[in-house]
Chain A
């Protein structure tokens, strides 16, 4: 069951996009949030970080995003270092569990925020934000304020904001956990569609076995006290995946395997 870079994990180049070695995070209070994390994430990969609450999966995501620094160990971007012309670090997109929109700004202004912070001219950033909103199915809602949008639509704006910079890697912290199941399924399919079209890397934090199996190519199963990666599982199912996959016996079998691995990790 172990081992990630199997023959089906398609566009893994020789150098991974992100590489973590012996990463640990200790807080001043003495709590060990993460310990001994070794992880390689390839270009175009879809990796799920699956684990119970308190296993440090959000902390791991924040370390990759640069929002938290590891207490020990290293985080490297091997694929980016060899690229001389562009910016040294790859472009990041981050989606929080809450939509985290600016309530005083329209959907368009919210989606355009990363470009505005980069100093992109108004006409260009609005055009690109409108394009991103269209991509997440929100064409026509550019002028709407967040409070006029449903929970699912707010999350779509949040995804559009993460996509607007055309990121190399999209970091998602339980983005659909607060949504109802029907909306969640819909957003799962839409996310996969965008991912296959754009080909960026996704790191997706979730506590749902079903969601991790449905979405990802690879699942890092995590355990807590101290937070660590217990095992990695490659999901042996081809893309595109759709509702047919969700109801297939293959899907059920993989979910069972992953559930057992998760139960083992929690018990360990």
Chain B
């Protein structure tokens, strides 16, 4: 049996400009252009109307403050980052584990899922003080707060993914008498992977938000030193440029987390999933 020459599709090479596919450049350049334009307008407005820097500092002043205070700010950034990533890791591991458990038995899912929803809809600001009082170690208290916020998207997405297996493939596994474990490892988990990674991408940003919110609550008690605490501190001392500098760091961190998780998603799915494919032609 041989393959006819016209049966195999020919791969199409995408046109590349400076190492990136031609279509990617506008997606990078246009937002940068808008950003530069807004910053320019901001700088001009602050200078033209002589706005005092304790009301609205100019972008150049914020940048200078960021460089000047990098020493203390970077220490705080590192603390916040550690909490964020620890919370994200715990959320990913527990979310995946619980989703697998849900997939094994409808009864477990029926009994536990409502509580996961309750955890999700409870405002973190409202329960953070309690957690901080209950848990001795402030880092663990912050981690729990960030975890509560980050946990749900991973759980619900992965549960959905584990249940979205192609019926025929499931039949095929049955036909060859696959064990439950084989079906889980070879079929359900790989099928759930895109869903899990999608959840992880949402949770990355949420873990950062959860960590910052918890730091705010803890910071009002003077018990933390993350980026949120720097913002609080600068606010009390009316060091508005420093406040903005910390805010800029938080934004950049959030964007970096989002982009790097997107990269992870792309690298893991590029061979097979529709989401990681570039349409050509």
Contact = CB atoms under 8 A, between A and B. Distances in A.
A194 B186 CA distance: 29
A228 B191 CA distance: 37
A73 to B, nearest CB: 21
A104 B1 contact: no
Given A67-B175, A150-B9, A183-B7, A104 B168 contact: no
A92 B175 contact: yes
A146 interface: yes
B172 A100 contact: yes
B171 A149 contact: no
Q: How large is the interface on B (under 10, 10 to 19, 20 to 34, 35 or more residues)?
A: 20 to 34
A137 B4 CA distance: 9
Contacts, number: 75
Contact of A66 (B8, B168, B175): B175
B190 interface: yes
A96 B3 CA distance: 21
B52 interface: no
Contacts of A152: 7
Given A116-B186, A194-B1, A102 B169 contact: yes
Given A147-B272, A147-B277, A193 B172 contact: no
A246 interface: no
Interface string A102-143: 111100000001101110000000000000000111100100
B172 A94 contact: yes
B1 A135 contact: yes
A193 B1 CA distance: 8
Interface string B119-137: 0000000000000000000
A190 B1 CA distance: 6
B72 interface: no
A150 B199 CA distance: 31
A114 B171 CA distance: 12
Nearest to A136: B1
Contacts of B191: 104
B69 interface: no
Which one of B1, B173, B186, B193 has the greatest number of beta carbons of chain A within 10 Å? B1
B71 interface: no
Nearest to A93: B175
Interface in B141-170: 166, 168-169
B274 to A, nearest CB: 8
A265 B200 CA distance: 56
B7 A150 contact: yes
The 4 closest A-B pairs by CB, nearest first: A137-B3, A103-B272, A100-B168, A190-B1
20 contacts: A67-B175, A100-B166, A100-B169, A102-B187, A104-B273, A105-B272, A113-B172, A116-B186, A117-B173, A117-B177, A117-B182, A135-B1, A137-B1, A137-B3, A146-B272, A149-B8, A149-B9, A150-B7, A186-B4, A193-B1
